A = this chain, B = another copy of it.
Amino acid sequence: MDRSEEQLLTVLAALDNPHRLRIIHALHRQGRNYVSQLARELNLSRPLLHLHLQKLEEAQLVTSQLELSADGKALKYFEVADFHLLLSPATITEAVGKQ
**Are A90 and B28 within 8 A (Cβ)?**
yes
CB distance from A90 to the nearest CB of B (A): 7
> In the assembly, how many copies of this chain are there?
2
Interface of A is mostly: helix
As a 0/1 sequence over residues 54 to 89 of chain A, the CB contacts with chain B under 8 angstroms (1 = contact) are 000000000000000000000000001111111111
From B11, B16, B22, B89, contact of A82 by CB (8 A): B89
Chain A, 9-26, CB within 8 A of any chain B CB: 9, 11-13, 15-18, 21-22, 24-25
**Are A15 and B87 within 8 A (Cβ)?**
yes
Query: Which chain B residues border A11 with CB–CB below 8 Å?
Result: 87
**Are A93 and B8 within 8 A (Cβ)?**
no
